[in-house]
Chains A and B, each alone.
Chain A
């Protein structure tokens, strides 16, 4: 039997705004499955986003949804989680939103290890504004603002998250659709800040400028560059050249922020 996504989608809100071939819809379905797996109470779950194509995702979900300003989703979400720690808080957004304009909020959410799940759809481009380069656009790639090739080095979002203090970091791709919900579910269950980076595609504004003639070409790129961490352990450095590791990249336990604050309240109250 086909999976029933519609019970999680707000009536009348489809079709979505994403272009044919965009991976964001695949990620949304993965998120819906993960929320079901974790049996999240939709009355007590907030899905928060910034601005951009990926950030339109919350509007489709039948839960408490907050579409904020560009880059600020993690900070809005932090306010929700602090004020109401029993609420499940999920942040979704793109690479530009999360690591350029929102980079400061992203690293500090990681540092606090506040119990939220941040699903970041990395399609290496600013799609909504028509394809300008982001901090995740490969060096040399073409964007509407790098017609001579991108001169900028790139962020590795997962490494950035680990370095900043996130305690669960996983990476998947829009091609490996069945893995997405498992990674997100693991992130939701994790106590602390979980970052799930999903390598995504934007055929409309990235693909057509970078010799990916079709959506299938873009998907093939995701398929071919991804190497599961388990497989990578048996591969040589040479074999791993140009590849991207997928799966759970980092998983550790550290004090969670709202729990630490609850202890602070007890100290302040002299308990």
Chain B
């Protein structure tokens, strides 16, 4: 049987991916350029008995998201820059309380209200460091409608597997362009559900490190009565200020991601084997970068592209190897220098690192990239 295909927007692909992953709850607040995610979810969720709620503001949306996720629901929220800034405190809450959920940030120009209909990639460092306190983050950067669909499924899987909020960083171009998307058949893509506790309720501890780096999470209403707080807490979920307990919990919550990077990392390597100049590109910018690589190759320049689909945790190991291999890494980004900072940090001066930044609401075009590469060489 032929697969179901559709010509849809990136935002719609995100919603469809969420539904495939088993998302049954959406909370959000209207904001350009992310609103279509909410609109599709408001239509589709009730059809499968799921719930859509438009909250009174972006903070309320992520609060409702976390509440719903605690009852066992797979929950999605979508927003853009100003909304993401408002959500930062509760993003941290989901980190420390270890509540699985997925938040899509369709990046637009900023800071503040900025350029609501203009594309941007200027929330990339915010995605990692926006909420206060030490924490780990998982941030995905798909670049096509098909990839948005599939990466949204992966976002839910990572959220459920690692008990944490996962962010999908789109940009306005990816979110609003229309492409053919092939919907997966049931069972075709892996769908992961969070691990439920196997111990009897009286023995359950929601943060019991003896159960592994990711302790099982009981759903509210499933017979397990326990406490959830945003305070530093001990294994039983109750607040503590005991230095050794606070330290161990903080470290476990970061270790659970950093020690599982092989499972979490994902990237595309395009013509890297003999590459002397490597474009580090993601999201819609990577589409121009791919074109630039092809054009440069025609001119005899050994160019390639490294394209992270998992941006955070940052693919340090691979980028360090590439910095040893190549003469230069060029980072085109619709910002004035965000992920290039990570590339520079990891490259440790072993190759030239150059940046192409653009914040005028226009995409970075292949010609710009080609010019920069030729300048660097």
Contact = CB atoms under 8 A, between A and B. Distances in A.
B63 interface: yes
Interface in A11-58: 13, 42-44, 46, 48, 58
B251 interface: no
Contact of A72 (B43, B63, B221, B227): B63
A108 B56 CA distance: 7
Find the residue from A13, A82, A267 having the highest chain B CB count within 10 A.
Answer: A82
A249 interface: no
A79 B68 contact: yes
B25 interface: yes
Interface stretch (B47-55, B161-169, B257-265): B47-55
A77 interface: yes
Find the residue from A58, A104, A105, A268 having the highest chain B CB count within 10 A.
Answer: A268
Contacts of B224: 43, 64
B73 interface: yes
A82 to B, nearest CB: 5
* Secondary structure of the B contact surface, majority rule: mixed
A79 B56 contact: no
Interface string A47-79: 010000000001100111111110010011111
Contact of B67 (A10, A83, A264, A268): A83
Interface string B48-79: 01010101110111011111111111010000
Interface string B218-231: 00111111111111
A264 B53 CA distance: 12
A5 interface: no
Given A82-B51, A84-B221, A66 B70 contact: yes
A80 interface: yes
A240 interface: no
B220 A87 contact: yes
B129 interface: no
A78 B69 CA distance: 12
Interface residues of A, number: 40
A58 B228 CA distance: 10
Contacts of A129: none
Given A69-B89, A76-B63, A80-B220, A87 B228 contact: no
B59 A72 contact: yes
Interface in B206-265: 220-231, 238-239
Nearest to B65: A79
A269 interface: yes
B238 A59 contact: yes
Closest 8 CB pairs of A and B: A79-B67, A79-B64, A75-B63, A268-B46, A83-B68, A75-B60, A108-B56, A67-B229
Interface of B: 24-25, 27, 43, 46-47, 49, 51, 53, 55-57, 59-61, 63-73, 75, 89-90, 93, 220-231, 238-239
8 contacts: A64-B221, A64-B224, A65-B227, A67-B227, A72-B63, A82-B53, A107-B56, A265-B46
